[in-house]
Amino acid sequence: MAGGGSAIRGSRVGAGPMGEAERGEAAARQTVTYHCSNSHRSVVAFAIEAVVPEAWDCPKCGLPASQDAENPPPAPKNEPYKTHLAYVKERRSDKEAADILDEALKLLRTRRKSGDLIF
């Protein structure tokens, strides 16, 4: 046996299992079960004195979950991405847009006739 000794590999003198005495007492806990709309069940442990949240994100699918198994919260509605033009069209009618365009073109043509440099 090279190196001698009969030490167990990967251990050190005085090493032993970590027990309650070394870590201290564990805090009193309560478990709360949350349910999502995909029928996933999540059990979460909280300290007794902690305020338990009404909703919790499901760790399996990310949907919101509640403590009511019969009526889990619905999945949030994702609105599609809107372009700047889509937002403008919500605020202005086609007639208003045409009027604004005509006004801007008249101003541009007037400035060009007077010799302004327009970039």
Question: What stretches of the chain show up as alpha helix (H) in DSSP?
Answer: 20-23, 84-91, 94-113
Q: Greater confidence, 1 or 98?
A: 98
Chain position carrying tokens 């970590």: 18
* Stretch 49-72: mean pLDDT: 94
> Is the full-model pTM beyond 0.75?
no
- Quote the CA–CA distance of 53 and 51 in Å, as a whole number: 6
DSSP reduced 3-state for 90: helix
Tokens encoding 24: 């201290």
Asked if pLDDT for residue 23 goes beyond 90, the answer is: no
Comparing 27-31, 95-99, 115-119, which segment has the lowest mean pLDDT? 115-119
- Rounded CA separation 38/72 (Å): 9
Q: How large is the average pLDDT for residues 60-78?
A: 92
Q: What is the reported pLDDT for 118? A: 74
